[in-house]
Amino acid sequence: MHFSKEAFGDDFVWGVSTAAYQIEGAHLHDGKAPSIWDIFVQKKNKIFQNHKGDIACDFYNRYIDDLELMHRLNIRNYRFSIAWSRIIPNGVGEINQAGVDFYNRLIDLSLSLGITPWVTLYHWDLPHALELKGGWLNRDVKEWFADYVAVCVQLFADRVKHWMVLNEPTVFTAAGYFFGVHAPGKKGLDNFLAAAHHAALAQAHGGRVIKSWQADSVVGSTFSCSHVEQFSSRPKDIFAAKKADALLNRLFIEPLLGLGYPTAEIKVLNRIEKYMRQNDLADLKFDMDFIGLQNYTREIIRYAMFVPFLQAKIVSAKERKVEMTAMNWEVYPESIYHILKKFAAYENMPPLIITENGAAFPDLKEDDRVHDPKRLQYLQDAIGQVLRAKQEGVPVKGYFVWTFLDNFEWAEGYYPRFGLVHVDFENQERTVKSSGEWYANFLKA
């Protein structure tokens, strides 16, 4: 590694990210009602070995030790999400004071340790009570979400300034409403298009709500993104790659920037009009203070006649026999550089922050140590690529590692370990991995 933290400048933000359902546990504790994930994990064979997030990292009960550990590792920015059904069990209406108290304690302790909270308002755990009313398929979700956002801002804005409206709308709408592999397990194009449009509306509207309560807030939203390349220079592969890029990287950022949906590449997206009302196009636009990018890998795309709607498919890392993580994602550090360049190329793009980046590997604990050279290398290489983009003029202002603790990795259960800190899920013991020690040293420098 040929760079130090100083190369990024004093105002560059370094941190770690987590999400409520993946770490908190205490899933029905102190008045919290179930979210769609609490329900989804009960279905047979949806999650690797039928794992559940009921206890996860038990962060709800262990946050004091965990935040102290974060502080010892020199981490001074912490991105976490609020579980909507902990604050408002029915999704709308009555507030659960015990849930509010938990986030108050979390925020207060963070601040007293010199750790700045960065709050994600929605990281995929919709209150189940709202799912019973149609969830993201019901256009009213825009108002339910706006009310919840207003509640959070009123409760926490005296101490929280940095907000992210949604986490990766492409992933939660595609996995949850098209493929049915994430909660709530719905499938099909119509479900996907409805959920996507309502999420895009909620994304912009949520931003407006935060600003209306807290004018000096720093508001962003986060986007999954992968550098896309065509499998060959055949025109069909090039066109397939363009379509995949539109779906993976452009679907939610472009309406937010006022460019509408990328319908020129993906014709079937025109069907989203069915869900659009007058003024929606204008309502989809909002000027964020920053855009959060979450990158893990690149995708190689080829033409595939039989794949409905897209006629495109991913050529997997396995098929290509390239180095992979435990998620079977290609290890390709340059992806984060290309993604930063791509997003920076939009006119009127606000500053960019890498709000997630990291890798899962099958870490082993030996003699009370977890040696994880692959993750360490992955992070160093990725951070180097962020610096490369920054030095070429990309306005990238921060970097958050995914993630602090090994956690519940959605459909993959507890199998993939992404943490800087190893968690023994039998006894909740934490062990800082070599990558965690490295990050701590890097941040201290």
Task: Kindly list the residues in this chain that would bind ligand BGC in the complex (CB under 6 A).
Answer: 19, 22, 167-168, 171, 224, 294, 356, 402, 409
Smallest distance, Å, CB 283 to ligand BGC? 25
Q: Would residue 356 show up in a list of annotated catalytic residues for this protein?
A: yes
Residue the block writes with tokens 């990158």: 295
- 424: tokens are 């023994």
Residue 96 or residue 167: which is nearer to ligand BGC going by CB?
A: 167
CB nearer to ligand BGC: give 117 or 358.
358
Contact 92, 144 (CB under 8 A): yes
Q: 105-109, long-range: CB within 8 Å, 24+ apart, which pairs?
A: 105/63, 106/63, 106/67, 106/80, 107/156, 107/159, 107/160, 108/159, 109/63, 109/64, 109/67
Using the minimum distance from each CB to ligand BGC, give the nearer residue, 100 or 200.
Answer: 200
Query: Which residue in the list 24, 131, 168, 356 is annotated as catalytic?
Result: 356
Check: CB of residue 164 under 8 Å from CB of residue 121.
yes
Least distance to ligand BGC, CB of residue 243, Å? 21
110 and 78 in contact (C-beta within 8 Å)?
Answer: yes
Query: Residue 78 carries which side chain, given as an amino acid letter?
Result: Y
Tell me whether residue 286 or residue 410 sits nearer to ligand BGC (CB atom). Answer: 410
CB 410 within 8 A of CB 182: yes
Question: Closer CB to ligand BGC, residue 223 or residue 337?
Answer: 223
For the stretch 301-321, what's the b/e string if a residue is b when 16 or more beta carbons lie within 10 angstroms of its beta carbon? Answer: bbbbeeeeebebbbbebeeee
How far is it, in rounded angstroms, from Cα 403 to Cα 7? 23
Distance CA 338, CA 385 (A): 9
Nearer to ligand BGC, 77 or 224 (CB): 224
> Which residues contact residue 236 at a Cβ distance below 8 angstroms, ignoring those fewer than 6 apart?
303
| Closest CB to ligand BGC among residues 60, 80 | 80
> Residue written as tokens 């006649």?
305
Minimum distance, C-beta of residue 224 to ligand BGC, in the bound complex (Å): 5
Which residue, 131 or 168, has its beta carbon nearer to ligand BGC?
Answer: 168
Shortest Cβ 110–ligand BGC spacing (Å): 20
Q: Which residues are catalytic?
A: 356
